[in-house]
Structure 1
Amino acid sequence: MTSEADSGRLLKLIEQVARQDADALHALYDLTAAKLFGLALRILIKREWAEEVLQESYINIWRFAKDYRPGLSAPMTWMSTIVRHRALDYLRRVGDHETEWNDTLDNLLPSFEPDPAERALLSQGATRLGHCLDTLEVAQRQAIALAYLRELPHQDVAQIMQTPLGTVKSWIRRGLAKLKTCLEG
């Protein structure tokens, strides 16, 4: 959905959605759901979470279509922004429950207590990296996981962790320095 014609079609559909046209919302969903789901999944990792965020996002698109201003952003950009914000809000809600957050982090990082069959499959470098990650402070490990495993910008990591941007950058910088020292040693 990158051509000018596609953008024009999306714009017309959003205008119809603003008039509470359910068929237009269905057509808009058919045209954009795959890309927006991919965006949500990239941020959230877990499929169930991405599905929930996508549903919430289309509810917001339905409710706020009348507020869309074509001069400010392209239709797909506007919808992507809604999905991104919903996904970050979802991560904040999950982050409020520390045990859930740690479970989420555990799902991001591979287990470094492998059973014998897994041990045979793991490379020596991956095992060493896992050991080195375990030596980091929790905040450093979380910031690095979000920045590098989820490929989130530092600003998003700061929002998710509800920490000043400078602090997050320091955690990442110091954590990477510790990882480098550990891996070289």
Structure 2
Amino acid sequence: MNTRSPRAPAPAFDTGHFRQALAQFATGVTVITTRLADGSFRGLTASSFNSVSLTPPLVLWSLGGSANSLPIFSGNSHYVINVLAADQAHLAKLFSTRSEDPFGAVEYELSRTGQPILKGATAWFECHNRSRYPEGDHVIFVGEVEHCEITPAQPLIFHGGQFRDLA
């Protein structure tokens, strides 16, 4: 089965306009975390998270193809997608910078496979790193969810370039 379509014509807009249009879509905010072979942890903020399938349970997220952390997440067998709660905007900011060790400033527990789960997240998904697909300037990661949990906390929302909550 051919999954590629013919190329679309060149867009009639620039990347700035495209970015502004995308900012009109309200999205949740996640921090993707993983454990390296040496036992240290890595994490990054991502708003590109979505469900793919209920059976099997699959989710996706994407990462820039030039990101320093791409080899880490491409090579690890597991990661956790932490859906941030409304009071965790500081974590989104912390994990979006190139801080040496953001885990020194956050509370976490370990998943069944030893991955860091951020305390207070409104939901989390422990995923097997099932597949990766390069598309455009990003790589799409598909994770098979092995375990997930929820809390009653309200989610953090990102819209129009700002963090917001449902209230």
Higher strand share: 2
Q: Which has the higher contact order (CA 8 A, sep 6+)?
A: 2
TM-score bucket (shorter structure):
under 0.3
Structure label with greater radius of gyration: 1
Higher helix share: 1
